Amino acid sequence: MNLTGTIPPHLGNLSFLVRLEFGNNSFHGTLPQELSRLRRLTRVSFANNIFVGTIPSWFGSLSKLQRMRLNGNQFSGSIPTAIFNLSALQGIDLSQGRS
Three-state SS for 77? coil
Pair 54, 75: CB distance under 8 Å = yes
- What pTM was estimated for this model as a whole? 0.90
Domains in the chain: ranges and CATH: 4-93 (3.80.10.10)
pLDDT digit string (tens) for the chain, length 99 residues: 889 999 999 999 999 999 999 999 999 999 999 999 999 999 999 999 999 999 999 999 999 999 999 999 999 999 999 999 999 999 999 998 655
Please name the amino acid found at residue 79.
I
Give buried/exposed letters for 50-75 (b at 16+ CB in 10 A, else e).
Answer: ebeeebbebbbebeebebbbbbbbeb
